[in-house]
A and B are shown apart, each in its own frame.
Chain A
């Protein structure tokens, strides 16, 4: 079965090309090889999840024309950014970041976002849920549980259409929620941004099929196989900076449905009989403020946070009221085009 193709000649490039090139690079190489920073007998650490994620991110850059990284300012998307940096170093990340801004962000998150983008030197696109509301495309929810979380979908789909993005990289993980546990790494969405959960492409070995038609796009989840603890351990090991609200701090809060809510902003609805009290808290997820509850915690360093997660008995999304709406809350949102 071996064919003539094996008879290719081995072509050796001309010797001269070997000598007078890579001048700039060799200086850098020397620098990197300084004994105190480098141990060349070493090999990169065997972190299977990290190598898998980098592979996936590179596939996105190679298979799609207009990818974008969806950046919320939360720990998962910050982790994604670090992985993307690693995937393309020494080049810059070859796609923009996009933040779908609910207008209900913790101010710390926005400060953090802007600083990070400046350091990376990549483009940041911001699209606002407020604009979708002003344009009458969505109607603001009212009442005790009002949240802009659902409204994000419309703003996101509009932005995808506006920029003709064909791949959106997101930080969703399969361990977060059981509908997510069934989603592919390359998850195809139709013209309406919808997820057809019963008709997903099989994903075999490492091979990712990014073939799509005009108008379709793919949601890509490089950290699909990471758990919450994996993300936190990675942030710890890599020494990645994250917004301060992830660490224990004093905050004026009130209790509702057994969950702790921030009372420091007007965003979260608070009834008159809901008592404000100062507590030491931190946030485990950073979504829309109106649907993200805090947890009581004294973990004010990354080491303490990792130790706390390790021994935690409540799942991460236990503090996300958007998932509690019904057993199938996430599945329904995903079908409509949510992240």
Chain B
């Protein structure tokens, strides 16, 4: 079955967990034992409604404080699709969690509290989803029950949001507005009788109709080699297969390819998936490729089509989202992991910080704190083979690893 990953974004108390709980409840995805646990705990707490956030807040600290701390993954399926929702919390590590959730998602739900309308946080949610080029964004205007399901309120919020849309960089992003009440269930799975003025789809209907063939960002085929398979058995004595995942486009037997960085040319001889051969390796398939010629290929190398080379360079500029408590400083040294390839990197300069509320930029920054977003120039000790993020979501992104702590300290989107 097809899998759709969705990121959620909303401020504290916008009702994100409730919305997810509602989706689970109305699609009958909550099992009896889980439902009983929710009913029991809601009653203990004296609520007069079911507190669905209990279905998603998994850590003790979260339940104690009634907040969501870490990205949680929630699973449910319908007849046509499997869904994975990344529930991203809105606290101190907010941007970091949202960027993380959005990086693996093809769609996003931005929640707005109908009573509050578009607030500073909303700008940020939209900015990040646009920066990460999430193809399909649903703006769920929630708590409609608390504004008497007013069409005017809905339209005002929509108009405010549309003002933001003019500023976005990724103009092709599809944006849909839906009036909902997660708590009461209006327009989440079932159509609401309370919004006769709304003729659009419910949230689930919208998700069900998304075409997964269409929703992945496409580009040109890139094949980063993860692992070289050499069985060294009698039967497969000379077998040298290059294992990896195909990104961006597809590769077929007979395709002329170049191995980077050696620039050696060859042709694809065979494509294996497990013990069978195939003519074509589609996008996002984990295959093993053999080449016509005996060429030297190792992990971190990349196969690309001869007529379609990426940029091969020792320096790059990227929009960086900083995620670590330790700050990034000009001159600082890090490990850059670009796909499966690791190189050493030095921060050449921070060109400017970007205000993630579309309010402009700040020049002359020399450090980045957690949640900062900035344009940063790097020098690398070895060339990498990259595309611009806007052309290639996978080959245009990298993570920044702090070599002292080994933690993933940031992510970059190559410009």
Contact = CB atoms under 8 A, between A and B. Distances in A.
B369 to A, nearest CB: 16
A315 B34 contact: yes
A40 B387 CA distance: 31
Nearest to B339: A207
A11 B2 contact: no
Interface string A41-67: 111101011111011001101100000
Interface in A192-248: 197-198, 200-207, 209, 211-213, 224-225, 227, 229-230, 233
Contact of B286 (A87, A177, A207, A312): A87
A328 B287 contact: no
A182 B57 CA distance: 9
A227 B311 contact: no
Contacts, number: 259
Nearest to A318: B33
B263 A11 contact: yes
A201 B264 CA distance: 37
A257 interface: no
A5 B313 contact: yes
B172 interface: no
A314 B58 contact: no
Nearest to A210: B406
Nearest to A213: B406
B281 A44 contact: yes
B34 A198 contact: no
A293 to B, nearest CB: 12
B408 A11 contact: no
A interface: dominant SS = loop
Given A44-B285, A55-B226, A11 B399 contact: no
A204 B278 contact: no
Contacts of A22: 238-239, 269
Contacts of A230: 1, 82
A32 B60 contact: no
Nearest to A63: B340
Q: Which 7 A-B pairs have the closest CB atoms?
A: A178-B58, A44-B273, A8-B263, A211-B406, A91-B231, A54-B286, A13-B293
Given A13-B294, A21-B238, A225-B84, 17 more contacts: A3-B313, A8-B263, A28-B235, A43-B279, A44-B278, A51-B285, A88-B243, A90-B236, A178-B58, A181-B73, A182-B59, A182-B72, A198-B59, A198-B61, A209-B399, A211-B401, A315-B33
Interface of B: 1-3, 31-34, 55-61, 63, 69-75, 77, 82, 84, 96-97, 99-100, 103-104, 226-227, 229-239, 241, 243-245, 250, 253, 258, 261-266, 269-270, 272-282, 284-288, 290, 292-295, 299, 306, 309, 311-317, 323, 335, 337, 339-340, 383, 393-394, 397-399, 401, 403, 406-408, 411
